Structure 1
Amino acid sequence: MFAKAWQFVRRLFNSGVQDERPLAPSRRRIELSVDPPCVYAIGDIHGCIEALRRLETKIFEDAQPTIGTKLLVYIGDFIDRGPDSAAVIDHLLSEPPAGFRRLCLAGNHEAMLFDLLEGRIGIGDWLQFGGDNTLFSYGFDFNYLTHEMRLGHEAVLEEFVTAFPPAHRQFLSALPVAFSTPRFLFTHAGVRPGTPLADQTDHDLMWVRDRFLNAGDHGLGKIVVHGHTPASQPVQTPFRIGIDTGAYMGGPLTAVRLLGEDVRFISVQS
C-alpha cells in the first residue's frame, strides 16, 4: 500500500506594500493512507552540507537492521544563513542510497527564494533572512558586488536570477508544503491550532510559531513533526516533535527516527 501511495499559498511573505506582483501558487500536500514502516525526518539544514552528509551516514548505519524501504523526510529550510546552500540542493537532488527514498518539504526560506526568482518579493526582503550566504554559495559575493563593483541591488538580482540553475529552480517550485499519514503530519513550522488541516494556509504551515508552540494540543489528532524554531535539543511532547536544533548557529543537526511506536533522535555536531 505504501509503494502504491507514492504513485502550490497565498503570498508567503507580505512586506506590507500593496503592489501588482502575483500571488504565489499553493503548494502540494501529500497524504498517505498508511504510515510508512520507517521514517527518518531531518531538521533545518540551512546550508550545513558537511553536517548533513555526516548525519545521513549515521542514519544509513542506524537503518541497516531495518528491512524494507526507509523514507527520508527533509523538513525544510535547506538554504540561507549557513555556508553552502547550493551544495545542499545539489545533494537533495541526487539519488539516495539503495533502500531509501527522499521527500523534501518547503520551508519559509525555500518559499522566499522562489518568490524572489519569480519577482514576488525584492532582494532586500530576502537578504534579511540570510540570503547573502546563499548568494555567495552560487558565486555572488553581495558585499563585493555592491560596495566594490558599485552594482545596484537590482543589477545583482538580475544576474543571479539569470545564472540560477534551472534544476534548482524546478526543485524549489515543486516542493510540497506538508506530508501527512494517519499518525503524523510533517511540515516545516507547525499548524494553526484548532484549524482543520484542509483550512491551514501554506503561510500557516511554513511560518507559524508561538501560537503553535504554546498551544499544547493543537487539535489535529496527529503528532506534528516540524522544524523552524531552533532549540538546544529536540523537543518531544504528545502533540509535536521539534527537530530544529540550530545547526547553522553551531548547534547539532538532528533527525528523528519513527519506527513503529519507537521514537529515537540522531544528531551530529555541525
Structure 2
Amino acid sequence: MRTYAIGDIHGHLSLLHDLHARIEADRRATGDQDAPVVHVGDLVDRGPDSRGVIEHLRQGIEQGENWVVLKGNHDRMFAGFLRDAAHHDPGLRRELSWLHPRLGGAATLASYGVTHPADRPVPKVHADAQALVPAEHLAFLEALPTHYRRGEALFVHAGIRPGIPIPEQSETDLLWIREPFLSDPRDHGALIVHGHTALDDVTHYGNRLNLDSGVAYGGPLSAVVIEGRSVWLLTAKGRIAIA
C-alpha cells in the first residue's frame, strides 16, 4: 500500500509545485496513479504565498486530485483570526498572538493583499482580512481533518498523546503536541507521520516519521513515499531510502 506525504508547507507554493511534480514522476515509474498524497498541515504563515497554497490545494481536490490535506496549528490560528480578531488558540502561549512576528500571520494576510498587517490596529487589519480572504478559503481550512489512517501509517500534523486511543485524542494535541510524544519510544500501533517540529532533514525514528524539514526557516520542503513502514525521500534524482 503506497502513500505519498508532504511536510509543512508554510506558504511556499513554488516548492509545493515541485514536489507534486516529483510525485507524478514516481507515480509514472511505479505505474500507480491511485496512491493518495497526504499534506500534513501548516499550509500558511511565514512563507510568501499562503493564499496560493490554499487555492492550489482547494482547486486540486475540487478537480478530483487524490489529495488529503490535514489541519495544522497555523491553519487553525488563521481561521480563528478570521472569525474573531481576539481569538487566541488554546495551544499558543498566552503572551503571543497569531500576528506576532514569530508566528508569521502577517505574511499570510499580505498574500491576500492586506496592507501593513503587522503595523496597524488589529481591528482594521481584521476588517480588511474578512473583506479580502475568500469565504471558500475559510470554509476549506475549517473543514480540514485532523488525522488520516492508511495501512500501517497514521498521518497527523504534530503527533499524538501516547497511550490515548485516536478517537479520544484532542484536536489541540494533534495540532500542537511535542512532549511527551517526541521522546516516547513506544510503538503507537502505527507509524506516526507528522510535521510541526522543524528539523534539518526528514527523520525516521522507527515509531514515527517527522516530515518538517524547516521550510519556514529556509530549509527545503520535503516529500516521501511510504510503503508499509518503509520510507523513501523523493528527490530530483529519484528515491533515497530513509533508515
TM-score by length of 1: 0.78
Code of the aligned partner of 2:99: L
- Shift of residue 228, structure 1, vs aligned partner: 0.2
Query: Which of 173, 179, 182 in structure 2 is aligned with 1:204?
Result: 173
- Shift of residue 214, structure 1, vs aligned partner: 0.8
User: 2:87 maps to which residue?
Assistant: 121
Q: Which residues of structure 1 form unaligned runs of 5+?
A: 1-36, 147-151
- Shift of residue 141, structure 1, vs aligned partner: 2.5
Q: Which residues of structure 2 form unaligned runs of 5+?
A: 90-95, 237-243
What are the Cα deviations for residues 158-213 of structure 1, in whole angstroms up to 9, with x where unaligned? Answer: 12112210110111111000112341110000011122212210001000013111
Q: State how far apart, in whole Å, the 1-side matches of 2:59 and 2:148 are.
A: 21
Alpha carbons 1:70, 1:100 under 8 Å: kept: no
- Shift of residue 100, structure 1, vs aligned partner: 4.9
- Shift of residue 242, structure 1, vs aligned partner: 0.5
- Shift of residue 66, structure 1, vs aligned partner: 2.8
Alpha carbons 1:69, 1:99 under 8 Å: kept: no
User: 1:75 maps to which residue?
Assistant: 40
SS state at 2:4 partner: strand
Tell me whether 1:222 sits opposite 2:190 in the alignment. Answer: yes
User: 1:8 maps to which residue?
Assistant: none
Q: State how far apart, in whole Å, the 2-side matches of 1:198 and 1:240 are.
A: 19
Query: Which of 87, 92, 95 in structure 1 is aligned with 2:60?
Result: 95
User: 1:133 maps to which residue?
Assistant: 107
Tell me whether 1:264 sits opposite 2:235 in the alignment. Answer: no
Alpha carbons 2:113, 2:132 under 8 Å: kept: no
Tell me whether 1:238 sits opposite 2:206 in the alignment. Answer: yes
Alpha carbons 2:51, 2:112 under 8 Å: kept: yes
Code of the aligned partner of 2:199: A
- Tell me: CA distance 1:259–1:66, structure 2 relative to 1, closer, same or farther (3 Å): farther
Alpha carbons 1:196, 1:220 under 8 Å: kept: no
What are the Cα deviations for residues 238-269 of structure 1, in whole angstroms up to 9, with x where unaligned? Answer: 2001000011211111111013454111257x
RMSD, aligned α-carbons: 2.3
SS state at 2:79 partner: helix
Tell me whether 1:52 sits opposite 2:19 in the alignment. Answer: no
What are the Cα deviations for residues 36-84 of structure 1, in whole angstroms up to 9, with x where unaligned? Answer: x321110000001111111111111111123341201000001001111
Q: State how far apart, in whole Å, the 1-side matches of 2:141 and 2:233 are.
A: 27
- Give % identity: 36
Code of the aligned partner of 2:140: F
Q: State how far apart, in whole Å, the 2-side matches of 1:144 and 1:76 are.
A: 24
- Tell me: CA distance 1:143–1:198, structure 2 relative to 1, closer, same or farther (3 Å): closer
How many residue pairs match? The answer is 226
Q: State how far apart, in whole Å, the 2-side matches of 1:100 and 1:238 are.
A: 30
User: 1:162 maps to which residue?
Assistant: 131
TM-score by length of 2: 0.86
User: 1:112 maps to which residue?
Assistant: 77
Code of the aligned partner of 2:75: E
Q: State how far apart, in whole Å, the 2-side matches of 1:165 and 1:257 are.
A: 33
Alpha carbons 1:68, 1:99 under 8 Å: kept: no
**Dislocated runs of 4+, deviation >6 Å:** none
Code of the aligned partner of 1:255: A
User: 1:13 maps to which residue?
Assistant: none
